[in-house]
Structures are given as C-alpha cells and as structure tokens.
Chain A
Amino acid sequence: MENEELKHKLKEQIIKYLNLLEKTPADIKDDQVLFGEELGLDSIDSVELIVLLEREYGIKIKDPKEGRKVLVDVNTMADYIKEHRTR
C-alpha cells in the first residue's frame, strides 16, 4: 500500500513539475516509458525530474548513467526513491 501511495504521489508530482496539461495520475501507467512517444517528454523534462527528486526526496543524481537507469518509468523512480530518499 505504501508503495502504491508513493507511486500515486510521484505521478502527481511529475504532472506538477512538468506541467502536463490534461493528464491525471490515472493516465500514467506504472510501467509506461517516460521518454516514449506517449508522454512526449524530452531532455529538458529529464532535468525537471532530477530537480523533482532532489527537492521532494532529497536525492541528488550526479551521474548521468545513473539517471538513465532511474528515469525509465514510475516503477524505477519509486524503487530508487524508497532506497535513497533522505526526506
């Protein structure tokens, strides 16, 4: 349940940080690729997501290779948050 709550909150934060007009948390599937055609995210959005992780969960991603593994979908982001969050 805690995991589902985290994912729901994360989806809300993604929508807020990326200003995804007309999207609701229900529109983003847990395993939906973030940088695919469906959501239409790009490189600027990846910076926004890194800022989101830092501000909301106190996680600093400095290595771009690490970022590529984390910012795959909501599942990978949530797993990384559970393991590394400082707040």
Chain B
Amino acid sequence: MNLMIGRMRRVFAVAAVVIGALLAPAAAQEPMFTKPVHIGVLLPEEKPEAGPFWAEIAKAAREGTIITEEDFAFNAELVGMDFKVLTEAPVRGDVTAAAQKLLDAGAFAIMGGYTNAETRALGVWAEQKGIPFINLGASADNLRNDLCSATTFHLEPSAAMYLDSIVGWYVRSGLRQWYFVVEDTEEGRAQYERVRWSMQERHFGAREVGRMNLAPGRPGGANLAAAVRRSNADVVILLQGAADQLVALKDLESGGVPATVQVTGYPHTEAQTRAFYAASRAAAPTLGVGHRGAAWEATIDAYGAREYNARYRERWGVPMEATAWAIYHAMRAFYEAAFFNEGKTDPKSVMNYMMNPASVFDLHKGVATSFRPWDRQQRQSLFLIKINSAERANSLLNQALLVGELPAIYMPGTDLVERLDQIGDLANRSRCRKPTPLR
C-alpha cells in the first residue's frame, strides 16, 4: 500500500494559498534522478493481545511512516526524484512474507523489525536476498554478534550501548550498590552479563549487592522488596520486559523500598513510550519516576530537534515516540544513499554508501553519525530522561523530561567516532564474522 501523502504539502502550502499569485513557479531544472527510489517499510502487526505498549509502537510506526513519507516526498519532488514509500504489515507474524511483498513491489531496501525475533528473521531473509535492511527496534546484542546478518544495519541502539549509558550515568551519579532483577531468559541473562562487564571494564566503583532471577511473567512480590531492602542497594536495575518492570516497580514500592533507592529498567522500545512512563508512575508513584535510557526524547530542543519534534506534534497532536524517530532516520539513510549517490539503488551501491567512512548521517542528535564497520550498528548518542511526577505530568509531552545525554558530544580535540564508541561494543569484542557485501 502506498501511504497517503498530503498533509505536509498542505502544511507547506498554507502560505501559498493565502498569498495565491505571489507563489513563484516551481523548479524547471532537469531531473537529477532517473530511477525510481522506492523504499519499503514493514509496519508492526496489529496485535490487540500484545498489550498497550505494543499498540503505542504500532501507532507511532504508522504515524511516523506517514510524516516521513511526506517529508521525503517533498524533498524528492524538489529534485525530480520518483520517490515512494511502500508499506506492509505482517499477517500472523510472517514478517518475511510481508518483506517479500515489498521487494516484489519494487522496494530497493527494507526497514522493520520491532522485536528481536522479527529482526532475526528479517536479517536472514535480507541476507539471502542480498538487499539492505535496517533494524528499527531490536536491541539484542546477539543480533550484532553471532546472529549478525551481512546486509542488516541497526538504527536501533544495541543493548550494550543502552547498558553502557545507564551504568555510566549511575556510576557518575555516585550510586555504588547495585541490585539486579534479571529476566530468566537468554536475553535477560545476556543483558546482565553485559552490565557486569561494563561495571568491571568501563565504569569502575560500583558493585553488585544482590540479584533475583525471575521467569517472564513471574513477580518477585514481597520477597523482592525484602531482598532489596536487605541489600542496602542504592540502585535497582530491572532487566526485564516492559510489563514485568511495572510489576516489579509496584512490588518494590508496596514492599517498602525507600524513596532514596533509584530504580531503572532496560529501555526496550515498549519501555520508551509515553504510555509506559505514565504506567511506571501509576505503578509506583515514588520509585516509578526515576531515570530511563532512551534512543529519542520528544522534549529535545537542540540540534534541529526542536523543529523536528514540533513538526511531528503539529502533524499528529502527540509527541514523537522512538519508533517514529527510527523510521524517519532509517528512511533518511536509504533516501540519502540514493540522493547523494546519483540515484543509484542497487544493493551494493546502497551498502557502499552506508558503509563508506565518508558518509555521515544526521539523526537530529547534533553530530554526524556513522555505521560501525564490524557489525553495522549506527553510532549515536543516547538520552537520559526523567519520568515526571504526577504534578508535572500534565500532558502527554510532559510525561518525561530530557536530563542527560551520553556520551557527551561536545569534546573538541577528540575524535568523534571514538567519542561515540564510548558506548557499545568495539570491534575487539565483536563476534560478527559477516562482512558487508560491498563491491
């Protein structure tokens, strides 16, 4: 399906309507691009049973895709580019069938993947087809390592990036006694091991004072709260799914964990939504208004993000969620791969552009970013947000507030790439053995 274009043009044409004849004629230049630039977006499957946070992601993806298409269609028209966004949503979880439809419809590149399982399947499929794929929402480190795909690029930050940011933030804040609640799954255990590594190798001074492993859906209840109290922890890290984090917060607060204890959780995409922030506060009015890591935050007002966030709010009446942000910038990466490369859309040209050290990407985060060569992870800074208390949370936007950014991007005299690589895994830790198929 081709999404409706129009709002942006209407928006940008408002003044034209008002001033009528004042509007200058359109460009008469020769088209710079002769080949179609059609990009495929896999939308999240509508799954009512998946809960409210998934519904928020699905909504953000739909809205984000529309405004993204509007922006880039506007850009493309300026230069005579035949640009189109193609969209599909999977049926009964079959993401590769949906991706194949996009490919058959003429997309030269695909973006999608809102869970680790989806991204894993799409990565295998994209590698077999030899087409570039951008992962929008899966942070698992194994997708960048043993399970890496040669044609998969990750816009979503890796778990290692999120966890290094969180550890760095709390260690620098002087919080030394850490308690872990770990989801007893491969992913939960991997996150825990990565946090431990970060504490030992990157951010010294903190120590583990306790841990509880919990199966998904199993609450810790009063035992968890008692264990945390006994541990004398000053920070609790919930390495669980979004819904389980809320249960744990409620258990900790009702179990008498003092307000001096900071509680944070792993920032799954679902746990970066405004709906989650509100639910966190509702579950635990005191402990649930702590700091969280995020790939994007709707209250950023620097780096052109003020205008970008405002355009989104104006378009949809709601703040931009991380999923919408990811779609915009994945589209931008593919669009620019054609735009800055004479319109070439064959896979190798696109991947060459994306992997070229001279190519830079603007994520509305203030500095030029790039894809890491060893695992195709987009380097970027991450944000720390504070969930607002009930008194301050007087609007959807005000559910949270930007409070920090890691790593610091303003450090002239140091190397930008090295600066961004302060979070996440470097090449020497990478277990990805699949080089990008360049020419």
A pairs with B? no
Chain A interface residues toward B at CB < 8 A: none
